[in-house]
Structure formats: structure tokens, C-alpha cells
Amino acid sequence: MLASLLPAGVVLAEEHAPERLTLDGRLLAPEERSLVVGAGERRRRDFTAGRACAHRALAELGHAGAAVLAGASREPLWPGGVVGSITHCDGYAAAAAASADQVMAIGVDAEPLAPLPDAVATRILADGEEPADVGGRFDPVLLTFSAKEAAFKAWYPLTHQWLELSQASVRTEGDHFVVTVLVEPGPGHRGAPARLAGRWAASDRHVFCAVVVPAAGVGVTDNLPS
């Protein structure tokens, strides 16, 4: 379902049963294994599922065997010439990747269709922001949260600037959404847009959101709103 939200040129690899993956390290490159030494089982499982998907997406782009390391804020570090995004949650993991000459940034997010913890739910909406419109199918604040998560994953590589959930607002129209960042990017940002457009979908278990920022001069019109 997440694949249907992405334009041509973006490769997606998914894992629908991440709990079944082996944790003996065979799915990770040596450099990747070192990133989760001493981590708990949940962290190692999430990391392994995400990296396994990333490896499959990279192989399809011609980067078989490339490791995906992590930056100072644990963000994925993709091989040169590639941009991408990883998501994992209960019962699902995925990675999306594309050539950097076609796409400037990608953000994908999946969330279980379950109530958000109160500590998270109270921080999601910006001042005056209304929850996203989901037609009564599930908690609308969950879509607002997932859309912001996807947008922030695309925003961070362009700015190296973390955002609070209340520093952006979401507008939905059908299966499209636009996340508007309410703060200015810091110095040195690489063309980060103030409005990040994306699409969403929901299965009987998860909600999915995807944001793709095309490279300068590249039109991505078939899946993203203006």
C-alpha cells in the first residue's frame, strides 16, 4: 500500500513480518552491526528490519552491498548519490530510496492503527490546528502525527534541524496532505521547502504516509498535490 503513494523512480522494499527476521546479524553489514551492539531486542529487531529493507531497495538502484550507517542523530546515512527513508513499527517495516538526481528528499512513515500514548497525543497539534480529516475511519490525530513524521524525515536531511510536532501543521484533501513548517530553517539549509506535499493510505492495521521532494528541475506530478 505504501508503494502506491510513491512516484515513479522511488523504490520501496517492505517487510510485513519483521518479528520473524533473524537477529544473528546475517542481514546486516559489519559496520551496521556495530551500531546496535548492546541494544535491546526491540531496538535490534527494528534496526535489522529497516536495514534489510534498505538493502533490497539499494540493490534495485544498483547499490547492492552498500551499508546504511547512522548519523549523530541516528538518521540513516545513505550511499552517495542516493536519498531514502526508513520506517518500522509493530508488524511492518519499509525503506524507500531514489537517485539524488531525481529526488531531493524522501520521508515515509507507518503507524499501527492504535490509540497514541497520551504523552504524544497532547503534543501533536500546533496552536489552532484541527486534526486531519480521515472520514471517521480512525483517530484523525494519528494521521496528523504520521504525516508530520514523514515530512520531518524529508526535512531533516536538508536542514539538520529537528522539529517539534507543534512546529508544523497539516492540511488534508482526500488522500493528499500538505505539511507546512511553521519555523524558518537554520543557516546552511539545502533548499528545504516550507510546504511538503504527500499522500496517505490506511489498511486494516496501519496508516501510511509518504513525502517526496523532487530535485530541482524535476517534476513529480503524478502522485503529489501542488
How close are the terminal C-alpha atoms of the chain, in Å? 22
Q: What is the per-residue pLDDT for 165?
A: 95
Query: Looking at residues 37-44, what average pLDDT do you find?
Result: 94
Q: pLDDT > 90: what percent of the chain?
A: 82
CB 50 within 8 A of CB 88: yes
pLDDT at 136 over 60: yes
Locate all alpha helices (DSSP H) within 2-86, ordered by sequence: 30-33, 41-60
Query: Looking at residues 121-132, what average pLDDT do you find?
Result: 92
pLDDT digits (tens, 9 = 90+) for 180-222: 999 988 877 777 899 999 999 999 999 999 999 999 866 544 4
Q: What is the per-residue pLDDT for 225?
A: 37
Query: Looking at residues 18-42, what average pLDDT do you find?
Result: 93
What whole-number distance in Å separates Cα of residue 3 and Cα of residue 10?
Answer: 9
The domain locations on the chain are: 2-214
For every residue of 90-103, which 3-state class applies, written as one string? Answer: CCEEEEEEEECCCE
CATH 3.40.50.300 correct for 2-214? no
Q: What is the per-residue pLDDT for 219?
A: 55
**What is the DSSP secondary structure assignment for residue 186, as one 8-state letter?**
-
pLDDT at 126 over 50: yes
pLDDT at 146 over 50: yes
What whole-number distance in Å separates Cα of residue 90 and Cα of residue 16?
Answer: 9
Q: What is the per-residue pLDDT for 14?
A: 98
Q: What is the per-residue pLDDT for 224?
A: 40
- Weakest-pLDDT range from 33-37, 70-74, 182-186, 200-204: 182-186
Q: What is the per-residue pLDDT for 218?
A: 65
pLDDT digits (tens, 9 = 90+) for 98-117: 999 999 999 999 999 998 88
Greater pLDDT, 129 or 190 = 129
